[in-house]
């Protein structure tokens, strides 16, 4: 049957058979082959023996002898003025002229009369690397790897055709088209394989060096030639036949006239085998018979080599960096603008001058701990009531003590009055009125927590100034802030220790009582209308406690700014007890007494049958009663000042999001409004950054050990690692060391960034406290941490250790590779730092965070490709490598290192080995040779992801929850 497909197949095979019948790139012309110069015979398989290029089809051909398949041209002698393997390279103008005259006849004298005509007939031999029409080139191949297999002499001949019409040699002009290359490799006089490529472009430089770049490379190994199965166990047939893609032929400028030139024959796979210079060629000779006219016509038109274009990755990277810098500058400008505006127009500290605080029906319920997380309905329905129906009112200048045994709800009431975030459900109304009795929407509440969390390395004065800078409006001038700080110092009796460091448990600074007063001072700096303190005297001795109480007394009765002071007191001495104007006694969340202090409570309870024993501390008596209160007292609400002004627009109370629906008091809307306002800070973002950075800078300067330790350790490690891998050579063992060195650096960075985790965990309590105190926004804190942790403690040490190691170990020594190496490590360092930040932010337990971080390091090393070949990992686990940032880092580092053209030169039991390190890298670790920019982009992607994660974690997780 004759079918179209069969016909097609037939045509296809016929075409193939025809195409294959011409060897050496010859083209079919009718039934015969049009052969390239230097070859002949029916199928162009026979090489010419001697003669010259102009003889074309008349040239003598060499026949195979001695039962061989292919001819051997070793014995063929070249004519005078011709050289190279196959005698196609002219060496002198006279040789070209003679050969030309032999073919076309000598030019007549009339021809020679006119200058142009003379030039037209004048042949010259161009021996420069640059080609004008079609140039022959012949080189010795001297590659150790190839010589290890085939030690005999090898040569490569190449015909580079730029414009065949311009060449007079008949063998050449009839062959090939613009921009083609045809090359043959000869081994011991016998042709082994030939290659062709097209769409070539030539670049040439003033110094005489020259490059050809071609596409569509195609090579053919001649069956049974020595390389191609003649020695079966060393056959290169498959390798040669698979050469494809682009071909580059780069030739250096001749060192001196007549000296042999070196060239490189480069193709991706050849580069892989033989190193970045591909097949290195030596003693190259160039020869091109060409009319003087052609050279003159092109002589002046020295085309400059096109500027080496930046790769797409670099351009994209530069664009991104540029955009980031621009964005940062814009933001900075915006920040400056807003800062200036705030300084000009911001409010001055307004003194509300006497605020009355009042609360009605305040209650608080926590979830039943036995209730399932997923149970439907009101989560607090069967909850545990902590506070119930509390009322109270404190006038300016009054001090209220909240008393009660442990568990009575003192701290809870304090938190609710101070507007803290609570996990449970709070209800009721808290309101503030100014002197005129008008409701106040924005009372300033100062809160002093039970424990002191203070910046250890600052002095007392600096800590107060820090608070003043951040908690007072921008418009308050510096001098006023200094005066305020000075006033607070005197008021608190801290003037003596004003310039002492606060200190930490390890490095003692000021005493406990002084710390407590400083905490109060930090709240006072913001000029609060209401000052609320949670057990300000716990942990202090009687004298210190009384000192604190007298400070509070002074604050409350300040004649310029009478303040409401509310403090929970755990176990007051009688002296301390008498310092308070009013007393609120709590028992199991209920009010037992609320009214004047002093002896009034004793009288009140005496009337109810519980007289205070003679000589007994009234406070102790009250606590005794509260510890075991008679039910009669609890059921009858005995509050003296129960709320009488229910219509006052209130500011409170519901803080938990889940109870938004079903609020039973009008405070809800305003409560939300307050929450929105609560996010506002007294200062602009830029000021926050400035002030925070100022503190971090002081930390860094004072705690020099931190910075010096990081830098010194980096230098020592650099010398250690550099010594370990000192001047690695290019043997197989040296290659292992090189890669080991890169791995060492990666692992070092991964582990040393653990310290950033510690600093975040360490600084967390202070951040929580200051965030709750609305000193600054979390973003400002993060940014200052990045500026003062990442740059001096991460990037700088990384640069130090990498630089020392790099030059001591003798890695690729040129600037480009060095900076690319640095870029990878710096990015990795930032990436790991942010990752550890993230862990520290997510897990409030530092131990868990450190464990996870260490395990992550281990995982990263496992999948980095050094311990197990990435392709050998079972597919179930293989995907894990894509999350491994260390893998990308090491790949980029290795690619950068071997991409410098590193060759491994060694000998295995006497057999010389000369192989590209790139090949070994791909085989050994499964790294891709072109992945440098991909890896950089992925690492940047990880950095962005971690940064977003850190921001989210800081906003959502690192916040006070009481």
Ligand X SMILES: *[C@@H]1O[C@H](CO)[C@@H](O)[C@H](O)[C@H]1NC(C)=O
Q: Which is nearer to ligand X, 70 or 580 (CB)?
A: 70
- Of the candidate residues 178, 574, 637, 871, the single one contacting ligand X (CB under 6 A): 178
Residue 127 contacts ligand X per CB under 6 A: no
Question: Minimum distance from CB of 166 to ligand X (Å)?
Answer: 8
Residue 116 contacts ligand X per CB under 6 A: yes
Residue 72 contacts ligand X per CB under 6 A: yes
Distance CA 920, CA 916 (A): 7
Residue 30 contacts ligand X per CB under 6 A: yes
Site string for ligand X, 152-171 (x = CB under 6 A): -----------x--------
Question: Minimum distance from CB of 52 to ligand X (Å)?
Answer: 18
Residue 34 contacts ligand X per CB under 6 A: yes
Residue 86 contacts ligand X per CB under 6 A: no
Residue 177 contacts ligand X per CB under 6 A: yes
Q: What is the largest CA-CA distance in the chain?
A: 150
The interface region with ligand X, picked from 27-35, 79-87, 669-677, 821-829 by CB under 6 A, is 27-35
**In 3D, which of 488, 491, 406 has the Cα closest to residue 450?**
406
Helix axes 704-724, 796-809, angle to 10 degrees: 20
Task: Please report which residue ranges of 773-884 form alpha helices under DSSP H.
Answer: 778-785, 796-809, 815-842, 846-862, 875-878
Q: Which is nearer to ligand X, 99 or 667 (CB)?
A: 99
Question: Minimum distance from CB of 739 to ligand X (Å)?
Answer: 41
Residues paired with residue 197 on neighbouring β-strands, in sequence order: 181
Question: Minimum distance from CB of 240 to ligand X (Å)?
Answer: 17
Q: Cβ contacts of residue 304 below 8 Å, gap of 6+?
A: 205
Residue 490 contacts ligand X per CB under 6 A: no
- Of the candidate residues 60, 74, 102, 108, the single one contacting ligand X (CB under 6 A): 74
The interface region with ligand X, picked from 39-47, 184-192, 747-755, 814-822 by CB under 6 A, is 184-192
Distance CA 695, CA 687 (A): 12
Question: Minimum distance from CB of 56 to ligand X (Å)?
Answer: 10
Site string for ligand X, 188-227 (x = CB under 6 A): xxx-----------------------------------x-
Q: Report the b/e string of 526-558 with b at 16+ CB within 10 A.
A: bbbbbbbbbbbbebbeeebbbbbbebbbebbee
Residue 140 contacts ligand X per CB under 6 A: no
Residue 58 contacts ligand X per CB under 6 A: no
Distance CA 713, CA 801 (A): 9
Q: Which is nearer to ligand X, 133 or 430 (CB)?
A: 133
Task: Please report which residue ranges of 561-703 form alpha helices under DSSP H.
Answer: 574-578, 600-607, 618-627, 631-635, 667-678, 685-702
Site string for ligand X, 805-844 (x = CB under 6 A): ----------------------------------------
Residue 42 contacts ligand X per CB under 6 A: no
Question: Minimum distance from CB of 123 to ligand X (Å)?
Answer: 10
**In 3D, which of 848, 853, 846 has the Cα closest to residue 946?**
853
Q: Cβ contacts of residue 955 below 8 Å, gap of 6+?
A: 778
Q: Which is nearer to ligand X, 197 or 830 (CB)?
A: 197
Distance CA 940, CA 86 (A): 56
- Of the candidate residues 42, 103, 117, 316, the single one contacting ligand X (CB under 6 A): 117
Sign of CA dihedral 337, 340, 344, 350: positive
Cα angle at 908 between 906 and 913, to 5 degrees? 45
Helix axes 815-842, 885-898, angle to 10 degrees: 170
Task: Please report which residue ranges of 363-498 form alpha helices under DSSP H.
Answer: 410-417, 460-471, 478-491
The interface region with ligand X, picked from 72-80, 450-458, 512-520, 560-568 by CB under 6 A, is 72-80
Using CB under 6 A, count the residues that bind ligand X: 17
Residues 168, 122 contacting (CB under 8 angstroms): no
Q: What single string gives the DSSP state of each residue in 610-621?
A: -PPPTT--HHHH
The CA–CA distances, whole Å, from 750 to 211, 457, 602, 884 equal 44, 29, 66, 12
Q: Which is nearer to ligand X, 116 or 541 (CB)?
A: 116
Question: Minimum distance from CB of 93 to ligand X (Å)?
Answer: 17
Question: Minimum distance from CB of 714 to ligand X (Å)?
Answer: 59
Q: Which is nearer to ligand X, 101 or 656 (CB)?
A: 101
Question: Minimum distance from CB of 717 to ligand X (Å)?
Answer: 57
Residue 102 contacts ligand X per CB under 6 A: no
Q: What single string gives the DSSP state of each residue in 708-750?
A: HHHHHHHHHHHHHHHHHTTT--SSHHHHHHHHHHHHHHHHHHH
Q: What single string gives the DSSP state of each residue in 462-506?
A: HHHHHHHHHHS-TTS-HHHHHHHHHHHHHHTT-GGGTTSB---SS
Question: Minimum distance from CB of 31 to ligand X (Å)?
Answer: 9
- Of the candidate residues 57, 75, 323, 381, the single one contacting ligand X (CB under 6 A): 75
Question: Minimum distance from CB of 219 to ligand X (Å)?
Answer: 19
Residues found near ligand X in the complex (CB under 6 A): 29-30, 34, 72, 74-75, 116-117, 120, 163, 174, 177-178, 188-190, 226
């Amino acid at each position: 049957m004759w079918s179209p497909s069969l016909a097609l197949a037939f045509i296809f095979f016929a075409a193939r058979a025809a195409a294959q019948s011409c060897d050496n790139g010859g083209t079919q012309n009718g039934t015969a082959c049009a052969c390239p110069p230097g070859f002949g015979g029916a199928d162009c398989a026979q090489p010419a023996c001697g003669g010259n290029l102009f003889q074309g089809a008349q040239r003598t051909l060499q026949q195979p002898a001695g039962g061989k398949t292919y001819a051997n041209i070793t014995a063929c002698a070249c004519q005078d003025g011709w050289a190279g393997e196959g005698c196609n390279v002219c060496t002198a103008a006279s040789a070209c002229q003679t050969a030309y005259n032999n073919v076309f006849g000598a030019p007549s004298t009339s021809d020679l009369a006119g200058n142009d005509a003379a030039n037209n007939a004048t042949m010259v031999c161009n021996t420069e690397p640059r080609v004008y029409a079609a140039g022959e080139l012949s080189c010795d191949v001297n590659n150790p790897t190839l010589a290890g297999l085939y030690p005999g002499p090898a040569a490569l001949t190449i015909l580079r055709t730029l414009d065949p019409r311009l060449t007079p040699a008949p063998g050449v002009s009839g062959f090939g088209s613009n921009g083609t290359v045809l090359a043959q490799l000869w081994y011991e006089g016998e042709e082994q394989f030939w290659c062709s490529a097209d769409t070539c472009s030539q670049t040439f430089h003033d110094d005489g060096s020259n490059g050809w770049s071609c596409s569509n490379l195609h090579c053919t190994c001649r069956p049974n030639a020595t390389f191609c199965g003649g020695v079966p166990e060393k056959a290169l047939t498959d390798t040669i036949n698979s050469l494809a893609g682009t071909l580059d032929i780069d030739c250096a400028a001749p060192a001196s006239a007549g000296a042999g030139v070196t060239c490189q024959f480069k193709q991706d796979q050849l580069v892989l085998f033989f190193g970045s210079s591909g097949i290195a060629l030596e003693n190259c000779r160039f020869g091109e018979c060409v009319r003087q006219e052609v050279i003159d016509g092109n002589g002046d038109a020295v085309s400059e080599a096109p500027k080496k274009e930046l790769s797409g990755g670099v351009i994209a990277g530069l664009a991104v960096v540029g955009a980031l810098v621009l964005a940062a500058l814009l933001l900075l400008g915006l920040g400056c603008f807003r800062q200036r505006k705030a300084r000009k127009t911001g409010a001055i500290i307004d003194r509300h001058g006497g605020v009355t605080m009042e609360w009605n029906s305040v209650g608080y319920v926590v979830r039943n701990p036995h209730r399932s997380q997923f149970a439907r309905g009101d989560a607090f329905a069967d909850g545990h009531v902590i506070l119930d129906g509390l009322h109270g009112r404190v006038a300016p200048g009054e001090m209220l003590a909240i008393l009660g045994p442990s568990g009575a709800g003192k701290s809870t009431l304090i938190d609710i009055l101070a507007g803290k975030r609570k996990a449970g459900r709070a209800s009721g109304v808290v309101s503030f009125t100014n002197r005129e009795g008008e409701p106040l929407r924005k009372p300033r509440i100062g809160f002093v927590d039970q424990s002191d969390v203070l910046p250890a390395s600052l002095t007392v004065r600096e800590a107060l100034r820090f608070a003043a800078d951040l908690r007072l409006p921008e418009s308050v001038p510096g001098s006023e802030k200094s005066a305020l700080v000075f006033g607070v110092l005197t008021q608190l009796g801290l003037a003596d220790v004003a310039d002492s460091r606060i200190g930490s448990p390890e490095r003692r600074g000021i005493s406990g009582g002084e710390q407590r007063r400083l905490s109060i001072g930090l709240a006072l700096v913001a000029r609060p209308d209401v000052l609320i303190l949670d057990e300000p005297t716990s942990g202090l001795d009687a004298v210190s406690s009384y000192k604190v109480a007298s400070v509070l007394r002074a604050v409350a009765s300040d004649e310029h700014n009478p303040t409401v002071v509310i403090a929970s007191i755990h176990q007051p001495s009688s002296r301390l007890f008498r310092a308070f104007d009013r007393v609120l006694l709590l028992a199991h969340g209920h009010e037992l007494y609320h009214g004047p202090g002093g002896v009034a409570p004793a009288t009140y309870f005496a009337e109810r049958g519980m007289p205070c024993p003679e000589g007994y501390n009234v406070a102790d008596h009250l606590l005794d009663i509260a510890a075991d209160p008679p039910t009669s007292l609890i059921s009858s609400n005995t509050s003296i000042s129960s709320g009488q002004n229910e219509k006052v627009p209130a500011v409170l109370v519901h803080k938990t999001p889940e109870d938004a629906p079903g609020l039973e008091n009008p405070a809800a809307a305003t409560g939300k409004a307050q929450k929105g306002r609560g996010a506002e800070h007294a200062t602009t973002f830029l000021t926050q950054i400035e002030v925070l950075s100022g503190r971090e800078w002081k930390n860094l300067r004072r705690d020099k050990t931190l910075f010096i330790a990081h830098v010194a350790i980096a230098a020592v490690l650099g010398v250690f690692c550099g010594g370990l891998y000192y001047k690695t050579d290019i043997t197989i063992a040296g290659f292992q060391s090189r890669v080991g060195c890169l791995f060492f650096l990666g692992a070092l960075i991964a582990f040393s960034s653990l310290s950033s985790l510690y600093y975040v965990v360490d600084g967390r309590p202070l951040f929580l406290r200051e965030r709750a105190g609305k000193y600054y926004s979390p973003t400002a804190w993060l940014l200052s941490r990045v500026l003062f942790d990442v740059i001096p403690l991460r990037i700088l040490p990384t640069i130090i250790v990498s630089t020392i190691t790099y030059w001591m170990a003798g890695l690729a020594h040129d600037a480009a590779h060095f900076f690319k190496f640095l870029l990878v490590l710096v990015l990795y360092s930032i990436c790991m730092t942010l990752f550890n930040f993230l862990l520290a932010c997510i897990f409030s337990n530092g131990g868990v965070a450190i464990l996870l971080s260490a395990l992550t390091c281990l995982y990263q090393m496992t999948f980095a490709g050094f311990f197990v070949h990435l392709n050998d990992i079972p597919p179930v686990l293989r995907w894990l490598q894509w999350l491994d940032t260390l893998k990308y880092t090491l790949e980029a580092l290795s690619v950068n290192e071997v991409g410098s053209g590193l060759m491994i030169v060694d000998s295995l039991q006497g057999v010389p080995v000369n192989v590209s390190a790139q090949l070994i890298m791909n085989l050994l670790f499964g790294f891709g040779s072109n992945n440098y920019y991909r890896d950089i982009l992925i690492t940047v992607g990880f950095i962005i992801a971690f940064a977003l994660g850190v921001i989210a974690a800081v906003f959502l997780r690192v916040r006070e929850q009481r």
